[in-house]
Amino acid sequence: MSHVTNMNSMFKGCSNLEKINITNVNISLVKDMNNLFLECSNLKSIDLSNLDFSNVIFMNSMFRGCSNLENINLTNINTSSVRFIKYLFSYYTNLKSIDLSSFDFKNYFF
């Protein structure tokens, strides 16, 4: 995946997806992650820590509708290029906590 620039809606609607491991995926050229896991209603846990988000601009609705998501790890990611995160974490019922301390919010358009 080292040449991928667009992951928009890649896993959208994968309602049987419970977990996914993309910790070793090269996303260094990806700019668009809009709707990446949109409506993955059975997704329970995801680890995106230490991925290279340095070129990602769009993260709108990335986890929207993931109603069973309990754990998400977004630590140590570089979000300095991200501009759009509207509805990033909307429609949750089971998310217990999330650490956004590595997020750089100064350039976001909500």
3-20 tens-digit pLDDT: 899 999 999 999 999 988
- Of residues 92 and 8, the one with the higher pLDDT is 8
Q: What is the H or E stretch that residue 46 is in?
A: strand 45-47
Residues near 24 by Cβ (< 8 Å), separated by ≥ 6? none
pLDDT tens digit sequence for 27-68: 999 999 999 999 999 999 998 888 889 999 999 999 999 999
Task: Name which of 43, 97, 96 is nearest 65 in CA terms.
Answer: 43
CA distances from 11 to 15, 22, 80 (A): 9, 12, 24
| pLDDT greater than 60 at residue 103 | yes
Could you give the 3-state DSSP secondary structure of residue 45? strand
Cα–Cα distance, 53 to 73 (Å, whole number): 13
Cα–Cα distance, 75 to 67 (Å, whole number): 21
Contact 16, 41 (CB under 8 A): no
